[in-house]
Amino acid sequence: MSRLALYPGSFDPLTNGHLDVIARAGRLFDRVVVAVLINPAKQPWFTAPERVAMIREACAGLAVDVETFDGLLAELARRRQATAVVRGLRGASDFDAERQMAQMNRHLHPDLETVFLLPAPEVGHISSTLIKEIVTLGGSVAGLVPRAIEARLHERREGVGTRHV
């Protein structure tokens, strides 16, 4: 039986921390699907199709599918017959919210496991929110996101001016 893992998130934008988790998941599962949430309640820097395109480019050469989803993650997992949901756990501050989400997904889909992966220490401080804050304030995010995404962030900042993240 082929074991498929979903790696869901906002990915606004994908970071080197996400890439580290994707590579680790790829070594554990037969297929990894990066599932980009379409969340009408949020105002992302990048549209869902833009995020998908950036992730596909960054993951070129890896055996990874990238798609969007809306609605419940548990329902996507059912449709895709996923074995597990993968989430990166950077530290204790991530844990409570992640535990709650994992328990709720287990309630909605008792056969679905959530697997937490610890990113490499050199990327454990990266978050999409901090990346956008640094770019907004004119700092460098080199080495924290893939080069193509770094360029897109600077373009977007120039296009949109200062904005809340």
What DSSP string runs through 88-121? E--SHHHHHHHHHHHHHHHHH-TT-EEEEEPPPG
Chain centroid to Cα 58, Å, comes to: 12
- Say whether 164 is catalytic: no
- Say whether 42 is catalytic: yes
With vertex at residue 21, the alpha carbon angle to CA 17 and CA 27, rounded to the nearest 5 degrees, is 150
Using CB under 6 A as the binding rule, whether residue 25 contacts ligand PNS is answered as no
Using CB under 6 A as the binding rule, whether residue 77 contacts ligand PNS is answered as no
49 CB burial (10 A radius; 0-12, 13-18, 19+): exposed
- Say whether 90 is catalytic: yes
Stretch that binds ligand PNS, among 19-27, 54-62, 70-78, 140-148 (CB under 6 A): 70-78
Task: Count Cα atoms within 13 angstroms, Cβ side, for 30.
Answer: 7
Using CB under 6 A as the binding rule, whether residue 68 contacts ligand PNS is answered as no
Instruction: Reduce the DSSP state of residue 129 to 3 states and report it.
Output: helix
Active-site position among 24, 51, 90, 109:
90
From the list 62, 89, 104, 165, which residue makes contact with ligand PNS (rule: CB under 6 A)?
A: 104
DSSP 142: B
* Furthest-apart CA atoms within the chain: distance in Å: 50
Stretch that binds ligand PNS, among 50-58, 98-106, 109-117, 132-140 (CB under 6 A): 98-106
Using CB under 6 A as the binding rule, whether residue 37 contacts ligand PNS is answered as yes
From the list 4, 89, 101, 115, which residue makes contact with ligand PNS (rule: CB under 6 A)?
A: 101
- Say whether 79 is catalytic: no
Residues lying near ligand PNS in the complex (CB under 6 A) are found at 8-10, 37, 72-74, 101, 104-105
Catalytic residues: 18, 42, 90, 128
